[in-house]
Amino acid sequence: MHYYTYSIPVWGQTGISSSSTYGTLYSYGNYSTYSGSTTYTPSYGITGYRTGVGSLVLFFRYMFLVAYDFNAFLKNQEEIQLWRTQITSSGSSGDLRRVFPVLVAASVPYLGRNSGQKVKVELRESDDEVLQIKGEGAEK
């Protein structure tokens, strides 16, 4: 499990954006009185931040695929390795029923040949290549 922190803005009053004063002046000879009121319009915005903590479970998935010469095996039970590949991924799903079709689809263009280096492939479960592996895609 991986833990991470993040900032959460706190919303509140930041000050006063405007004010309006209304009043009446009363005069009685040499005597005057004023009666009034002021209305303040607050302004709002981010007043600070608080820290949140989240957690994320990451699963490491690994597939090792080896191909053998089937004819040599049929002929004399000899296991001659033709090629092999390793496919790895990490993500939030530990359900291999969902993950393996993606791993297989990502490996298809490289099966039986030497890529010469580590190759990064990004696929989603809804991509055509994955749907074809699952038997749900359109025939090409």
Task: Answer yes or no: is 140 within a domain.
Answer: no
Q: Which residues pair with 79 in a beta bridge?
A: none
pLDDT digits (tens, 9 = 90+) for 35-94: 999 999 999 999 999 999 999 999 999 999 999 999 999 999 999 999 999 999 999 899
Domain boundary among 54, 80, 96: 54
Mean pLDDT score, 19-31: 91
DSSP string, 109-126: GGTTS--SS-------TT
Residues 40, 99: one domain? no
**pTM, to two decimals:** 0.58
Let me know whether 90 and 109 are in one domain.
yes
Question: Do 77 and 102 sit in the same domain of this protein?
Answer: yes
Taking the C-alpha atoms of residue 89 and residue 130, their distance in angstroms, rounded to an integer, is: 15
